[in-house]
Amino acid sequence: MAPPLLHLRDIGLTFGGRPLLEDAELAVGAGERLCLVGRNGSGKSTLLKIAAGLVEADRGTRFVQPGTTVRYLPQEPDLSGFADVRAYVEAGLGPGDDPHRATLLIEALGLTGAETPERLSGGEARRAALARAIAPEPDLLLLDEPTNHLDLPAIEWLEEELRGSRSALVLISHDRRFLERLSKATVWLDRGRTRRLDRGFSAFEDWRDQVLEEEARERERLDRRISQELDWVRYGVTARRKRNMGRLRKLEGLRAERRDQRRAVGTVRMAASEGAVSGKLVVEAEGIGKRFGDRAVVEDFSIRIGRGDRVALVGPNGAGKTTLLSMLTGALAPDTGSVRLGTNLEIVTLDQRRESLSPTATVADTLTEGRGDTVIVNGEARHVVGYMRDFLFTPEQARTPVSALSGGERGRLMLARALARPSNMLVLDEPTNDLDIETLDLLEELLDDYAGTILLVSHDRDFLDRVATSVVLAEGAGRWTDYAGGYSDMVAQRKAPAFQPAKAAAAGVTARPGPVERAAAPKRKLSFKEKHALETLPKRIDALAAEIAKLTSKLAEPDLFSRDRKAFETATARLAAAETERAAAEEEWLTLEMLREELEG
């Protein structure tokens, strides 16, 4: 077996007295495709920097096969010191690398090369850094959140480019679809240690759940052993002192083992504060248009959005998604046409740039808006520290300024503040930015349960498939088309790719045939909510059946009506309702069971 191109062994690193990495390991062979996954703050980016040679671990070894070329994409590329994008990209080339390929990649990613660093947006800086990393065609590519700040055309182009590359890959990303299509093995960084699964990301979540369930069972076994030893210490028959001390040492050892077990990080608990019910009609736009100079951003667009709809706006950066969103919510008047908003709307907006967060405000003040130490959620007062814990913030972070938070923490803070406000319409502009996969799961579950209307902009294809009931696609030249279903449904209805990366085609850069076969479309799985319903519905049906039997027996009493007419009417009404509920529960269970059999079959 060939030695790995890169091997990190027994890596340990401590930040601020807390161990971040403990005996972590990462081995990458030629042509391998790994994804590195874990919660925000688990140390993924730090481990990747150690792999790139940018951070030195406290202990452990880093081995790179002699002659191996390694390129690293940071989350926040630094272009300072370079005259323009072209100089920055070409500085990453090695002896013998083709400068012409650098030019092609710059153009394929929508840049000219003449842009100066100080005038670049976050997305443009990320594109320049991608071109610099990919252009040399290195033996090993280390990519930290490569899809951040990229629009869907750029993500799909990058996906094809990497699929055709012969470079080994290590990817960190929150984009499920991206990971599923590119990864062949998964390294899970959890509580400072790494575990490896020699399968792609599509198999990771089931495997992770099995690992965590086994850990929970092991903790239960350990707790039982500790309890047994405590019982012996308290109530056991006195024996030889040597034996007693041995049992006490055993108990102390078990307690130490229990203390040393680092439990999995808790889960985010989300619940949206829902306002009063809106009218059935939420938004009606007729023939609206918007131009900026000679450029048409929206041209003769009409849509009717009802209560409970989840509408996603999709298109390249600069297509006008935020402009259209602003017109549909009444924040921006159209040049032509009209927008009518429904009655009783309570709108809460989550902006993509986190600009509404004051960098000097503390986490607690951001959530309470500087008024005391309580947050009102669904009409109930909660202490701000308890509410913070629901979003994985520690009590010590209550007085932490927003400027000191990571990107993922700022994302969770924006969600926590937005969801505390009563609403019947959520406007979400790139809500998935910087959120880890587990938090995304919970956000999707929350939106699934949300009774109001949702308007969203996102470049996350998996998120769009799970949340949206319709997709409004930018077709170009100000034209927008409304498609039923999620992102995959939209692509199927078009019978053509949603985007054609024209600059890439013009530059002659195409996805090259490579050693990686096209991954199959991710298999549909039961959602957490569907699994939970399958498990709990039978108990609900049995409980309703017992209640129906009890009510029927009560109504059979011959003198009930004459003795207690009110009790008779209450029991009759409840019996009808219980029978309706049981029929609905049985129908739901049957539908889910048929779906489960279809998916598993």
Is 44 annotated as belonging to a binding site? yes
- Rounded Cα distance, 536 and 538, in Å: 6
pLDDT for res 532: 80
pLDDT for res 115: 92
What fold does the segment set 6-206 form as a domain? Rossmann fold (3.40.50)
**Do the domains 528-600 and 269-346+422-501 match in fold?**
no
What residues have CB less than 8 Å from 395, skipping those under 6 apart? 385, 388, 389
Is 43 annotated as belonging to a binding site? yes
- Rounded Cα distance, 597 and 590, in Å: 11
User: What stretches in the chain show pLDDT beneath 50?
Assistant: 237-243, 502-522
Is 62 annotated as belonging to a binding site? no
pLDDT for res 184: 95
Is 167 annotated as belonging to a binding site? no
Q: Are 301 and 287 in contact (CB under 8 A)?
A: yes
Q: Tell me the two tokens of residue 316.
A: 């390249």
Find, among 1, 5, 4, 46, the residue nearest to 22 by Cα: 46
Is 113 annotated as belonging to a binding site? no
Find, among 135, 165, 141, the residue nearest to 68 by Cα: 141
Q: What is the pLDDT of residues 131-179, one digit of tens each?
A: 999 999 999 999 999 988 888 888 999 999 999 999 999 999 989 999 9
Is 562 annotated as belonging to a binding site? no
Question: For helices 122-134 and 99-108, what crossing angle results, to 10°?
Answer: 150
Is 16 annotated as belonging to a binding site? no
Find, among 122, 147, 137, 126, the residue nearest to 35 by Cα: 147
- Rounded Cα distance, 65 and 6, in Å: 6
For the chain, percent of residues with pLDDT exceeding 90 = 36
Is 356 annotated as belonging to a binding site? no
What residues have CB less than 8 Å from 533, skipping those under 6 apart? 588, 589, 592
Is 458 annotated as belonging to a binding site? no
Amino acid at 572: T
pTM score of the predicted model: 0.67
Q: Where are the domains of the chain?
A: 6-206, 207-260, 269-346+422-501, 354-421, 528-600
What fold does the segment set 528-600 form as a domain? Helix Hairpins (1.10.287)
DSSP reduced 3-state for 188: strand
40 HSE (CA, 13 A, CB side): 23
Q: How open is the CA angle 368-411-386, to the nearest 5 degrees? A: 40
pLDDT for res 601: 58
Q: Tell me the two tokens of residue 455.
A: 């308007």
Is 123 annotated as belonging to a binding site? no
Residue showing tokens 């990747």: 48
Is 39 annotated as belonging to a binding site? yes
Find, among 67, 55, 50, 69, the residue nearest to 7 by Cα: 50
What backbone phi and psi angles, to 5 degrees, belong to 230?
-65, -40
- Rounded Cα distance, 81 and 72, in Å: 19
What residues have CB less than 8 Å from 555, skipping those under 6 apart? 568, 571, 572, 575
What backbone phi and psi angles, to 5 degrees, belong to 504?
-65, -40
Is 38 annotated as belonging to a binding site? yes
In angstroms, how far is CA 7 from the centroid of its own chain?
Answer: 29
Q: Tell me the two tokens of residue 549.
A: 């039997």
- Rounded Cα distance, 97 and 509, in Å: 17
What stretches of 352-486 show up as alpha helix (H) in DSSP?
363-368, 384-390, 407-420, 437-449, 461-467
Is 418 annotated as belonging to a binding site? no
Residue 557: Cβ within 10 Å count = 13
CATH architecture of 269-346+422-501: 3-Layer(aba) Sandwich (3.40)
What residues have CB less than 8 Å from 571, skipping those under 6 apart? 551, 554, 555, 560
Is 59 annotated as belonging to a binding site? no
